[in-house]
């Protein structure tokens, strides 16, 4: 690592010498004329792709292009939840791979991702919720994912601050290994580790087009900083995937929506798990700083605005107050929205595109943060070998013409 290895001993040494020896965690290099792999998108997925390309596949000349600053898109706009409580075996394998990586990445990256496996509890408020919850619980167990069914008494003793009124609690599905991780640390940890392998992270570099050779293969990326040759190109740009596909000349089954998130003023600790309440349309966790981090459903129409609309704000806040009426006087500190790439079956798109030389990682919709290690690992495999990883095969673009969709519409717990 250019910035040196982080450790308690190092902290003590730097502390005694006035913190003058840390050095930047990654460089800001000038673009080279050609790279073996160019990745478009400097969020978690793009930086993780670069890291796994270098570490797992030994690719040395890699660039990550980012229009703004790294982690400034959806990686900086999510609610930091990690979980693998999905329904279909293909999804469970994918998301649990990501969760298992999160469990050990802080050590691997030598960067504290502040992973807190505080559990995620999906509440059931009606007999129908109970049936669906039991179905989720059974599917998770069949997929080999940890899951517990908690009855109402158990839930109220584990989360005593809950004050259900109009929406009684009848039970819930708990995944103890789920939790939260610090979103910026995930971006910075992957960026620092990728940089240590020589990956060029090019911020302020906007893609304006692609150049193809006589066979139709994409061989270069056109940017505001000039043309950059590429042996292979990977796209990891979430809500902007359609616009890059337009530049490359293909269409995607993606619609971009705004997904809002909210942070309250800091409160004393009272909530030590992630709560999800499908019936009230709200999910919430309490950050280490004491702020409530919460969100809910998508905005009602397609948007690239990265800001939310009032009807959903009202609905999500009302949902929070149904669970915790005592929060009625708490004020919001921040509110924002990310531009999420929603696909019909709520499953990601991983693999080659109709343009040879370009592979894609998109379609995570409302749940991309939790999948960062998996998305990066699988796009890296595609770019390095030219073949999809077995775990990624079911998630190829061809599923929209074969009809073999992987319908995870219920997996978010909130109707998206």
Residues engaged in binding other proteins (CB under 8 A)? 240, 242-243, 251-256, 300-305, 309-311, 313-314, 317, 344, 400-402
Cα–Cα distance measured from residue 263 to residue 284, given in angstroms and rounded to the nearest whole number:
10
Cα–Cα distance measured from residue 297 to residue 283, given in angstroms and rounded to the nearest whole number:
10
Decide the pairing of beta strands 62-66 and 34-40. Answer: parallel
Q: Residue 392 CB, nearest distance to other proteins (Å)?
A: 19
Q: Residue 301 CB, nearest distance to other proteins (Å)?
A: 4
Query: Which residue's CB is nearer to other proteins, number 17 or number 402?
Result: 402
Beta carbons of 256 and 242 less than 8 angstroms apart = yes
DSSP class per residue in 270-284: ---SEEEETTTTEEE
Query: Which residue's CB is nearer to other proteins, number 258 or number 275?
Result: 258
Query: Which residue's CB is nearer to other proteins, number 31 or number 352?
Result: 352
Query: Which residue's CB is nearer to other proteins, number 92 or number 343?
Result: 343
At 65, list the tokens. 């292009």
Which DSSP symbol is given to 331?
A: P
Which DSSP symbol is given to 38?
A: E
Q: Which residues contact 335 (CB under 8 A, 6 or more apart)?
A: 260, 261, 262, 263, 308, 313
Cα–Cα distance measured from residue 81 to residue 200, given in angstroms and rounded to the nearest whole number:
29
At 360, list the tokens. 């894609």
At 257, list the tokens. 């929506």
CA trace torsion 365, 371, 377, 381 (10° rounding): -30
Helix (H, G, I), strand (E, B) or coil at 272: coil
Q: Residue 206 CB, nearest distance to other proteins (Å)?
A: 14
Q: For residue 224, give the nearest of 207, 211, 210 by alpha carbon.
A: 207
Query: Which residue's CB is nearer to other proteins, number 105 or number 320?
Result: 320
Beta carbons of 278 and 315 less than 8 angstroms apart = no
Query: Which residue's CB is nearer to other proteins, number 123 or number 327?
Result: 327
Query: Which residue's CB is nearer to other proteins, number 84 or number 240?
Result: 240
């Amino acid at each position: 690592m250019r910035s040196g290895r982080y450790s308690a001993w190092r902290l003590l040494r730097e502390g005694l010498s006035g913190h003058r020896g840390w050095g930047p965690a990654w460089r800001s290099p000038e673009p080279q004329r050609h790279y073996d792999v160019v990745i478009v998108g400097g969020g978690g997925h793009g930086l993780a792709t670069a890291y796994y390309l270098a570490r797992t596949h030994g690719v040395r000349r890699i660039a990550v292009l980012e229009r703004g600053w790294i982690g400034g898109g959806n990686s900086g706009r999510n609610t930091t939840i990690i979980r693998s409580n999905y329904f279909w075996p293909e999804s469970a394998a994918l998301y649990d791979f990501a969760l298992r990586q999160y469990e050990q990445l802080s050590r691997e990256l030598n960067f504290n991702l502040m992973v807190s496996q505080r559990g995620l509890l999906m509440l059931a408020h009606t007999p129908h919720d109970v049936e669906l919850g039991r179905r989720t619980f059974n599917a998770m167990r069949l997929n080999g994912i940890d899951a517990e069914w908690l009855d109402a008494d158990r839930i109220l003793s584990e989360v005593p601050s809950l004050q259900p009124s109009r929406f009684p609690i009848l039970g819930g599905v708990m995944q103890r290994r789920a939790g939260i991780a610090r979103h910026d640390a995930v971006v910075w940890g992957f960026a620092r580790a990728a940089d240590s392998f020589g990956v060029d992270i090019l911020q302020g570099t906007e893609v304006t087009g692609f150049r193809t050779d006589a066979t139709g293969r994409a061989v270069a990326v056109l940017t505001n900083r000039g043309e950059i040759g590429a042996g292979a190109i990977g796209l990891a740009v979430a809500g902007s995937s359609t616009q890059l596909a337009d530049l490359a000349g293909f269409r995607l089954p993606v619609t971009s929506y705004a997904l809002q998130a909210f942070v309250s003023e800091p409160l004393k600790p009272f909530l030590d798990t992630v709560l999800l309440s499908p019936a009230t349309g709200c999910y919430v966790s309490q950050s280490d700083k004491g702020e409530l981090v919460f969100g809910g459903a998508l905005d009602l129409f397609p948007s690239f605005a990265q800001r939310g609309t009032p009807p959903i704000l009202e609905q999500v806040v009302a949902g929070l107050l149904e669970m915790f009426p005592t929060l009625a006087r708490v004020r919001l500190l921040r509110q924002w929205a990310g531009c999420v790439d929603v696909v019909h079956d709520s499953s990601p798109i991983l693999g080659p595109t109709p343009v040879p030389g370009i592979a894609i990682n998109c379609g995570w919709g409302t749940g991309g943060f939790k999948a960062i290690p998996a998305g990066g690992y699988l796009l890296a495999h595609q770019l390095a070998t030219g073949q999809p990883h077995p775990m990624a095969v079911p998630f190829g673009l061809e599923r929209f013409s074969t009809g073999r969709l992987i319908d995870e519409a219920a997996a978010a717990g909130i109707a998206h």
